[in-house]
Structure 1
Amino acid sequence: MAKYTKDDIIKRAEELARMIADTEEVEFFKRAEAQIHGNEKVKTLMTSIKGLQKQAVNLQHFGKEEAHKKTEAKIASIEEQLDSIPVVQEFKQSQLDVNNLLQTVASAISNKVTDEVILSTGGNLLSGETGAQIKNTNCSHH
C-alpha cells in the first residue's frame, strides 16, 4: 500500500520551493530585477518598445507593410540597445540560472522516480527495464 498522498508530496514541494527561493541564484535574480526597475535608461527603452509594438500591431492590422517593417526594425534596434546594458545582461543571465536550477531539480525528481520504479519492480537500472519488462522478455523466449 502507498505510504504517501498527493498532499504529502505538495507539502514537500512547497518546502523545496522555499529552499530554492533561498539560493544564490534566486538572490542574484532578485537583485538584478531590482536594478532593472531602478534603471532610467532601461525604463525609457522599455516604454519606447511598448509604444512601437502597439504601433506595429495597428500598422499590420491596416496592411501598411512598409511602415510595419520599419517599426519592427526600430523595435529590433532598441532591443539591441537594451541587451547591451550590463544590468539587462545580468538579469537575463540570472533568469537562465534560475531556470537551470528548476530544470535540474525537475530532472533529479523525474530520474529518481524512474529509478525507484525500476528497483521496486525488480528491474535493471543499467538497461532501464522494469521487472515487468524483463519478465515479459524472458517469457517470449520459451
Structure 2
Amino acid sequence: MTTLDRNEIWAQAFELGQLILESPEVLTYKEAERKMQENADINSKTTKFREMQWQYDRLAEHGTGPHLNGLRQDIEALAKDLDSYPEVQAYKAAMKRVDELLKSVTDLIAATITEKAAE
C-alpha cells in the first residue's frame, strides 16, 4: 500500500469530485435546474418563498404566536404550489439521485477505511 501525504489525498479527492460532476446524476440535475430557472413563474414564486421563509425565521427568533401560524400556512401553500410544477418535481428527483450518489460514495469510502483499518 502506498502512503500518500495530505496534498496527494486532496488531489485524489478533487479528481473524484470531477468524476462525480461528470456523472449522469449530476448532469441530469444540472439540466433540471436549468429548466426550472427558465420558468419565470417558478422563479417569481421561489423568490417569494425565500422572502417569506426569511421573514418567518426573523419573526420566530422573537417567539411564537398566532402571527406565525398564518405565515407558516402561506409558506406551506406556496411550497405545495411550487411542487405542482413538473420542472420542480424533476429538479427534486434529480437532487435526490445526486444525494444518493454522494451518500453511496461516502458509505463506500467509510466501509473501505473501516475494513482496511481492521487488517
* Alignment check: 8 A CA contact 1:28 1:94 kept: yes
* 1:8 lines up with 2:1 in the alignment: no
Partner Cα distance (1:50, 1:24) in 2: 29
Report the number of matched residues: 119
TM-score between both structures, scaled by the size of structure 2: 0.85
* Letter aligned with residue 111 of structure 1: A
What corresponds to 2:112 in structure 1? 112
Is 1:71 the counterpart of 2:71 in the alignment?
yes
Deviation, structure 1 residue 58: 6.1
- What secondary structure, in the 3-state scheme, does the structure 1 residue paired with 2:77 have? helix
Q: How does 1:25-44 map to 2 (within 5 A)?
A: 25-44=25-44
Where does structure 2 lack aligned partners over 5 or more consecutive residues? none
The change in CA–CA distance for 1:3 and 1:65 in structure 2 (over 3 A counts) is: closer
Q: Which sections of structure 1, spanning at least 5 residues, go unmatched?
A: 120-142
The CA deviation string for residues 8-67 of structure 1, in whole angstroms up to 9 with x for no partner, is: 111111111111100100000100111111111211211222343354456557779333
1:46 to 1:15, Cα distance in 2 relative to 1, 3 A:
same
CA contact (8 A) 1:29 1:95 kept: yes
State the shift of 1:112 in Å.
Answer: 1.1
Q: Is the 8 A contact 1:60 1:68 kept in 2?
A: yes
TM-score (norm 1): 0.72
Structure number with greater Rg is: 1
Over aligned residues, Cα RMSD in angstroms?
2.3
The ranges of structure 1 where at least 4 consecutive aligned residues each deviate by more than 4 angstroms after the TM superposition are: 57-64
Structure with larger RCO (C-alpha < 8 A, sep 6+): 2
Checking the alignment, whether the CA contact within 8 Å between 1:59 and 1:65 is kept in structure 2 is: no
SS at 1:4's partner residue?
coil
